[in-house]
Amino acid sequence: MPFLLLGIVTIAFCISRLIPADPLASIVGVRQMANPTIVAAARQKWGLNGSILEQYWVFLKNLVRGDLGISFRTRKPVTHDLLDRLPATLELAVGALVVGGVGGVALGAYAASKKDKMADHLSRGFSLLGSSLPVFWIGLVFLFVLYARLGWFPGPGRLPPRTKPPGHVTGFYTIDSLLDGNFTLFRQCLWRLVLPCFVLGWAYMGQLSRLVRAAMLDEINSDYVRTARAKGLAERLVMRRHVLRNAWLPTLTILGFSFAQLLTASVLTETIFQWNGIGSYAVQSANTLDFPGINGVSLFAGLAFLLANLATDVLYAVADPKIRLA
């Protein structure tokens, strides 16, 4: 795992340094870029004065100590920036996983049980729509219709305007508002999660429901299912205890992978819904060539995928007694 992470940060480091643009432009500004004294001072201050190899060596030394450097843009340690934004992204990702996971499994199971009937076609159409429509488009349309026109849902942002965030304990506004005993704020925060989580989760709901449907249809035709039915077991129990349980394993893989994706690929959703999480941090870092920020986000993404894979492996062993972890 450490070697994999090292590989990820090394590739991110090299790509950012090979771009034919100077990050100092966004640090000192247009006017001062023509001033060699100021440029030299800034280059030294931000550790951009050595060769790429020297910069890489300094980066690695700091990384070993858990120091990802100071962001050129926010002027704060990148670790602080990422931890600050992580709760926002996690809230969004968990919500989207619930939408995508529960919705996907339910829809897939329902479609499988109604194979080739109207309900099957409708649920497949719904899932296809979710996976094929661009997230940014759905987000904008939902905001336009459900917020701006109908006023059924709140606008973008984690908090209502003119509202102070709850006391900082975890950084999760939903949890912190509960800890504050502020149930009104809790409801508001939860309500604000609905649209972005649905937009983000819909795409995964589509993928998952198709997978669950296919896996369940495979299982439905298995001998053990026929045996269970022959024994007179109720269809509901056959589906829940036998079919869904065995179709669950490939679903688990997708769920783990989806969670890592949700953590790292919510860039558009965060931008549209003004969600100040790691996705929007990644965009801003890339736009301003904030090297420490870019490296930090890359490391976070690598970690997210590795941990999600690890969690999936562990859950696999729990779900299937035949599998044992080494």
Which residues form the interface with other proteins (CB under 8 A)?
A: 19-23, 25-26, 28-35, 37-38, 41, 45, 73-76, 81, 140, 143-152, 155-157, 160-162, 271-272, 274, 276, 280-281, 284, 287-289
Query: What minimum distance in Å lies between the beta carbon of 179 and other proteins?
Result: 20
Query: What minimum distance in Å lies between the beta carbon of 236 and other proteins?
Result: 12
How many whole angstroms separate alpha carbon 229 and alpha carbon 322?
24
Distances from the Cα of 147 to the Cαs of 129, 132, 137, 237, in angstroms?
21, 23, 15, 42
Residue among 28 and 211 whose Cβ is closer to other proteins: 28
| Residue 116 backbone phi and psi in degrees, to 5 | 65, 10
How many whole angstroms separate alpha carbon 248 and alpha carbon 243?
9
Query: What minimum distance in Å lies between the beta carbon of 80 and other proteins?
Result: 11
Residue among 248 and 281 whose Cβ is closer to other proteins: 281
Query: What minimum distance in Å lies between the beta carbon of 188 and other proteins?
Result: 13
Residue among 41 and 303 whose Cβ is closer to other proteins: 41
Task: Single out the residue of 196, 188, 190 nearest to residue 163, CA to CA.
Answer: 188
Strand partners, 77: 70
Query: What minimum distance in Å lies between the beta carbon of 127 and other proteins?
Result: 16
Residue among 172 and 305 whose Cβ is closer to other proteins: 172
3-class SS of residue 55:
helix
Residue among 153 and 257 whose Cβ is closer to other proteins: 153
How many whole angstroms separate alpha carbon 9 and alpha carbon 253?
25
Strand partners, 70: 77
Termini Cα distance of the chain: 16
